[in-house]
Amino acid sequence: MSDTIDYGNLMHRAMRTLIKEVLNGIAEDGLPGQHHFFITFDTMHPDVEIADWLSDRYPGDMTIVIQHWFDNLDVMDAGFAITLNFGDNPEPLYIPYDAIVTFVDPSVEFGLRFDSNEEDQEQDAEVVSIDTAEHIEPEGVPEAPMVEAAEEDAPAKDAEIVSLDSFRK
């Protein structure tokens, strides 16, 4: 038994579970209102399954948009499968939750970012403001630019960034 509670890893798992629960709701009921997601993931993660031409084009991170057209959303314990349209080319993808780098819903100014810490090989997770999340380039999804998220007339609210490093010893 450890001498300390590993809040960092507990928070990491909780945030991945949140993504899973949100996607489960979308798989069952569809996207409500103006909700849509920008999900950036590591294409080099060993369990990611994408077409060869996509992994060749995006050999690091890739951002997908779940908004207007998606099909076959299947949410599983370790990840999710989805079919997305890339220039009139429907492509099936499998993305494990551990491969997710960011998860953003700009319609409600919500974002999660999972950062890798090379020193201790653990991942840090943080809640990011939508202003920070909007700087994430949606590579690989030309049919849904980030500009759509800025169409609301309401002023943007700043959100507090919470880094798990502050909870670690």
Ordered structural domains, the chain, with CATH: 7-167 (2.30.30.220)
pLDDT digits (tens, 9 = 90+) for 63-107: 999 998 889 999 999 999 999 988 888 999 999 999 999 999 998
Q: Tokens standing for 6?
A: 């590993």
Q: Tokens standing for 71?
A: 């099909």
The residue type at 49: E
pLDDT digits (tens, 9 = 90+) for 2-53: 788 888 888 888 999 999 999 999 999 988 889 999 999 999 999 999 999 9
- The rounded distance, in Å, linking the Cα atoms of 62 and 65 is 10
Q: Which residues have a Cβ under 8 Å from the Cβ of 114 and sit 6 or more positions away?
A: 12, 15, 100, 101, 102, 123, 124, 125
- Pairing between strand 110-117 and 100-105? antiparallel
pTM of the model: 0.69
pLDDT digits (tens, 9 = 90+) for 104-163: 999 898 999 987 644 333 444 455 444 444 444 444 443 333 333 333 344 444 444 445
Q: Tokens standing for 98?
A: 């551990």
Predicted confidence at residue 107, as pLDDT, reads 87
Burial, 43: exposed, middle or buried (Cβ in 10 Å; 0-12, 13-18, 19+)? buried
165 pLDDT band (50/70/90 cuts)? low
